[in-house]
C-alpha cells in the first residue's frame, strides 16, 4: 500500500523565494506535491473557495492584501482541517503566541536547512505539529510545566494579567489597560514565572490556554 501524497500550497509575496520553496517541496516526491501557489492570503483563499484544497499551507507572515496572520485566522474559521506551517524570519515571542492562538501547527525560520522543511512537513502531517529546535525546547518545556501546574492558585488580577499576556499588547500596554504601573505588572510576571515554573511570556500564554483562562476558539 503506497503512502499518501501530501498536497501542499505555498504562499509568499516574493516570487523567487516562493518558486524556490515550491521546487524544494516537489523534490520531496512522492510524499509531497505542490498543488497551488499564491502571492498573498487572499489569492490562496480564492483558490480554495474554487475547490482546490491543500492538506498543508506553507505561509509567509508579511504579505500585502492579506498577511499570514489574517490567512491563519480565516483558515481556522473556514477550513480547520487544513494545517499551516509558517516559514518566516520573524520569531518574536508575541508572534509565536499569536500564531499558536490561530492554530498554526509549525513555525520555521527561512534560514533553515532544506532537510528540516521535509521533516517539518512529515511531522505536522503525522503528529500534528512541528517547531524548530529554537522553539521546541522552550515550547515543549513550557507545555510540560503548564500541564504539571493545573492547581496553582491565581489571584483575580493575575488572572486578568494572563488574559492580556495572550494578546499582542506590550507589557506597558498591559499595565495601561490594568491601570497599573509597569513595575507592578513586572511583579505579576515575576510572581507567575515562579508559581508556574516558566521563564517566558510564551510559557505564561501556554498555561493560560491549557487551563482555559484563554480560549483558542
Q: Where are the domains of the chain?
A: 6-131, 141-210
CA gap 207, 203 in Å, rounded: 6
Query: Quick one: average pLDDT of 176-185?
Result: 94
Q: pLDDT digit string (tens) for 89-122?
A: 876 767 777 777 787 888 888 888 888 899 999 9
With bands split at pLDDT 50, 70 and 90, how would you rate the model's confidence at 17?
Answer: very high
Report the greatest alpha carbon distance in the chain.
63
Write down how long the chain is.
217
Map grid coordinates 501524497 to a residue.
5
**CATH 1.10.357.10 is right for the domain spanning 141-210:** no
Following CA atoms 63, 66, 68, 69 in sequence, which dihedral angle do they give, to the nearest 10 degrees? 130
CATH of domain 6-131: 3.40.50.2300
Is the separation of the CB atoms in 123 and 140 below 8 Å? no
Query: Quick one: average pLDDT of 69-98?
Result: 86
Q: Indicate whether 36 pLDDT > 50.
A: yes
Amino acid at each position: 500500500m503506497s503512502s499518501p501524497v501530501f498536497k501542499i500550497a505555498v504562499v509568499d509575496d516574493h516570487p523567487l523565494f516562493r518558486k524556490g520553496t515550491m521546487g524544494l517541496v516537489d523534490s520531496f516526491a512522492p510524499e509531497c506535491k505542490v498543488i497551488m501557489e499564491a502571492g498573498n492570503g487572499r489569492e490562496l483563499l480564492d483558490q480554495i473557495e474554487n475547490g482546490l484544497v491543500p492538506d498543508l499551507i506553507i505561509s509567509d507572515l508579511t504579505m500585502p492584501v492579506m498577511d499570514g496572520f489574517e490567512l491563519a485566522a480565516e483558515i481556522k474559521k473556514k477550513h480547520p482541517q487544513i494545517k499551516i506551517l509558517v516559514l518566516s524570519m520573524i520569531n518574536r515571542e508575541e508572534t509565536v503566541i499569536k500564531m499558536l492562538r490561530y492554530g498554526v501547527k509549525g513555525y520555521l525560520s527561512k534560514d533553515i536547512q532544506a532537510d528540516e522543511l521535509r521533516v517539518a512537513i512529515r511531522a505536522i502531517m503525522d503528529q500534528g505539529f512541528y517547531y524548530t529546535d529554537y522553539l521546541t525546547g522552550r515550547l515543549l518545556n513550557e507545555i510540560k510545566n503548564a500541564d504539571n501546574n493545573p492547581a496553582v492558585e491565581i489571584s483575580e488580577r493575575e488572572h486578568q494579567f494572563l488574559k492580556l499576556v495572550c494578546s499582542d499588547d506590550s507589557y506597558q500596554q498591559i499595565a495601561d489597560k490594568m491601570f497599573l504601573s509597569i513595575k507592578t505588572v513586572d511583579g505579576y510576571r515575576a510572581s507567575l514565572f515562579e508559581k508556574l515554573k516558566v521563564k517566558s511570556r510564551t510559557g505564561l500564554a501556554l498555561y493560560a490556554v491549557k487551563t482555559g483562562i484563554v480560549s483558542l476558539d
